[in-house]
Structure 1
């Protein structure tokens, strides 16, 4: 169809029973309303009205078309209203992508609490350590470590001061000793994370403004952050994890911090989306909830 306006003119003409009446109601000229009806008839290849100098009535084809037009415009109005209500009410379907380790062991539990507070929100979750393509995949929001590789993406900090931490289980330390500086890592079995084809096998540390870069080696590499944490918990080696991933393991002694006198790599945790217009009330509520939960975690 040429335009929704033509359909609205057709419906109003049928309601008023005249082109001039429709023109007055829609604040258009009679010539404009007549032209709109003629365009529709030409496109459909059918006469919609029987006209005389004083009267106008729908043809059988016009009556059939009128019913469909009214339904179509009502559906469109309903859709516009639903979108507008979604911008003012906390109701939505949120499609989230998040890392496997913090996702399974921290965020899923928090999201249950969030849904209890906002029962009109539905969640669709992707758990993966690969950064979702928010332009091509069915993902509205990604929760990720580090700055996004695409500078056009919007990154809202949730934990801007998060860093990595070197850690191992008490059993591993008892058996193989505790490294006193990053240089000692060359003597230890280091558990490495792999993103895509790239292994994170060079670990960086700082002390007194000087950087130390250590090439580490080990018997285990995984593209899943949770696998690396589980290996560390079972005493298989030393991990260099985000503090958020292991904060509970550190607090209850399942993992021990190593080389504490050294500054470690920054790994800010961000909420990422493609456009600020995606910050609906539901997304804003989620951001505020997660920020408050992380603040409690760090307290």
Structure 2
């Protein structure tokens, strides 16, 4: 929980107006509080605060991240309260479905952490980029990108601000000219996701209020989102992926964001259920836990030249 403690120190420092006041309120030394802020900045690879002996202020990155930090702490607090009032109810089997990228790279470790908090809970996890039939398949809840088209389903937001980003590996960019606008994608090998027979080869961007849809082509098309991400990391081409799927790849240098002055498609994450009455205490706590984990992910950089 150290990462969440670091978030609490950041929020308290901003609210208190000084690091020493935040340290006193949290019953810790100023040196320990300063180390926590430095650790958080190192993990995010951006400065969050500009500090001097007399004052401090948020950097633009820090101001953007502060909203997510507050949300993460608020969600955690709700989860703790729910745990305290209903611990005896949190048991049984959770039958879950998730997309391949989110399931393998994010949800698996998060479920392990969640189960360690609730050892009486067990789960059965199905990974597929095909949307499960919530009414005929043995699934209690599914984590999905985008709101389901079926209006009879209940979609509870988990990561409402998630968006796609255009990425390629340093190795690919060393061999090909860097695309400066979405129009430049015509000269690149674009890595496309396929669902059934439908290939996602129309990528949409927006700048200054104007939408642009580009028809892309490439020699790599796959029906597994994680395969598309792996192709991108391996230098096979340019991918248009959800930020949560590639956030660690970007922050650790395996992928580079492209055309960052263009807005990209929103892909919010939802927990989807067939009926709100099926939101058991276990699923409610799991949704809050995953929402907190998503909010603690590296923040998505804002488009630098677009008018929102």
TM-score under structure 1 length normalisation? 0.70
Contact 1:231 1:237 in 2 (8 A): yes
Q: In structure 1, what is the Cα distance between the partners aligned to 2:107 and 2:256? A: 23
Contact 1:143 1:271 in 2 (8 A): yes
Contact 1:87 1:280 in 2 (8 A): no
Aligned to 1:297, what secondary structure does the other structure show? coil
Q: In structure 2, what is the Cα distance between the partners aligned to 1:291 and 1:99? A: 16
**Deviations along 1:200-243, whole A, 9 cap, x unmatched?**
00000000001111000000100000110010001000000000
Unaligned 5+ runs, structure 1: 1-85
- Aligned residue for 1:69? none
**Deviations along 1:51-106, whole A, 9 cap, x unmatched?**
xxxxxxxxxxxxxxxxxxxxxxxxxxxxxxxxxxx996101210000011111011
- Aligned residue for 2:200? 200
Contact 1:88 1:281 in 2 (8 A): no
- Aligned residue for 2:223? 223
Give the total of aligned pairs: 214
Q: CA deviation at 1:119?
A: 0.5
- Aligned residue for 2:241? 241
Q: In structure 1, what is the Cα distance between the partners aligned to 2:276 and 2:244? A: 26
- Aligned residue for 1:184? 184
Contact 2:247 2:298 in 1 (8 A): no
Deviation beyond 2 Å, 4+ runs, structure 1: none
Q: In structure 2, what is the Cα distance between the partners aligned to 1:278 and 1:196? A: 29
- Aligned residue for 1:105? 105
Q: CA deviation at 1:298?
A: 4.1
Larger Rg: 1
**Deviations along 1:274-293, whole A, 9 cap, x unmatched?**
10111111011101111111
- Aligned residue for 1:151? 151
Q: In structure 2, what is the Cα distance between the partners aligned to 1:92 and 1:263? A: 42
Q: Does 2:257 match 1:252?
A: no
Unaligned 5+ runs, structure 2: 1-85, 300-308
Q: In structure 1, what is the Cα distance between the partners aligned to 2:134 and 2:184? A: 41
Contact 2:169 2:232 in 1 (8 A): yes
Ranked by relative contact order (alpha carbons within 8 Å, sequence separation 6 or more), the top structure is 2
Q: Does 2:94 match 1:89?
A: no
